[in-house]
Structure 1
Amino acid sequence: MDHVAYIIPAIPFGKPLTPSHYCNLKVKAAATMPTRLFLACMVLLSIAMAAAAARPATTTADDAPPTGNCDQDMQDLISNCQDYVKFPADPKIPPSEACCAVVQRANIPCLCSKVTPTVETFISMDKVVYVAGYCKRPMKPGSQCGSYTVPGGSLP
């Protein structure tokens, strides 16, 4: 239920209303509407700023922290790349352009932080490394993706 504030001018008892009383009433009413509009805009702006601050920055850097929400990246990878990373480990099939497009924009550290032992029973991590490299987004040797260590060396 909306609350409406009524502005009642101070009217001297027993005296007729003068034009200044009406003028004061209009000024007070006019001041109330922009104030309410301003406050409503400030509330909406605050909500928008809070939502923007809560949303993690999107990054494609391989050294990005493994935080954030990469659920959409995961869904896109499942839709476009699952045939190229599922077991058996061989043969390795060159991925499609659509798969590579997803790999290029995906937040790899975030995705790797979500790789569980259960996920590793469905996908070949060797194929994941192959697909990433094929798509010109090679994983750093020695880096972790789930419990899998990317072969080829260790991180400094």
Structure 2
Amino acid sequence: MMTTRGFLQVLVFGLVFTMFTIDQTWGEPDCYREKALVREHCMESITIKGDYVRPSEACCHMVDQSDMTCICHNITLEDEKEISVAKFLWVAIDCDKPVESGTECGSKYLYDAFL
């Protein structure tokens, strides 16, 4: 029969093992809803088609309430078929909520030269 000390050792080992093997997405901020709302309100400005259109007041209001860096991290290759990352970044700038240089945004990595 296992002693209390042995049981606690197994329990602690299991806890530590679980902490190191759990998917690290727990630490990732959740901004998928924000991404959907920015996309909905700003699509005219961030669409991959056509010239850049300055963002509307509704778009800037949504950008102001969103974590643009988090959204940048969560732009997928699938999103990039419809959304221009460069236009997304210009919307952030035009709405006075720029994304920091050095941030990974979609499949792009931002450099000081862009901003």
Please give the TM-score of this superposition, normalised by the length of structure 2.
Answer: 0.66
**Which of the pair has the greater relative contact order for Cα pairs under 8 Å at 6+ separation?**
2
Q: How far apart are 1:148 and its partner, in Å?
A: 1.1
Report if the CA contact (8 A) 2:45-2:54 is conserved: yes
- The equivalent residue for 2:5 is none
Superposed CA RMSD in Å reads 2.1
Q: Give the % identical residues.
A: 27
Alignment partner, residue 108 of structure 1: 68
User: d(CA) in 1 for partners of 2:104 and 2:98?
Assistant: 13
Give the distance between the partners of 1:147 and 1:134, measured in 2 at CA. 22
Give structure 1 regions of 4+ aligned residues with deviation exceeding 4 angstroms: none
Superposed CA offset, 1:33-63 (max 9, x none):
xxxxxxxxxxxxxxxxxxxxxxxxxxxxxxx
| Deviation of the 1:83 alpha carbon | 1.2
- Is 1:78 aligned to 2:39, yes or no? yes
Q: CA deviation at 1:128?
A: 0.6
Q: Could you give the per-residue CA deviations for residues 53-75 of structure 1, whole angstroms, max 9, x where no partner exists?
A: xxxxxxxxxxxxx8222132122
Structure 1 residues 143 and 113 mapped into 2: Cα distance closer, same or farther (>3 Å)? closer
- CA deviation map 1:93-140 (0-9, x unaligned): 110011001111112232122211111121111101110000001122
Mapping of residues 115-134 of structure 1, within 5 Å: 115-134=75-94
Aligned positions, number: 88
Does the residue aligned with 1:117 lie in a helix, a strand or coil?
Answer: coil
Where does the alignment leave 5 or more consecutive residues of structure 1 unmatched? 1-65
Aligned residue in 2 for 1:38: none
Q: Which moved more, 1:92-101 or 1:69-78?
A: 69-78
Matches within 5 A, 1:23-102: 67-88=28-49, 90-102=50-62
- Asked if structure 2 preserves the Cα contact closer than 8 Å seen for 1:92 and 1:127, the reply is yes
- Paired amino acid for 2:80: E
For 1:72 and 1:92, how far apart are their aligned partners in 2? 24
Which position in structure 2 is the counterpart of 1:144?
Answer: 104
Partner of 1:33: none
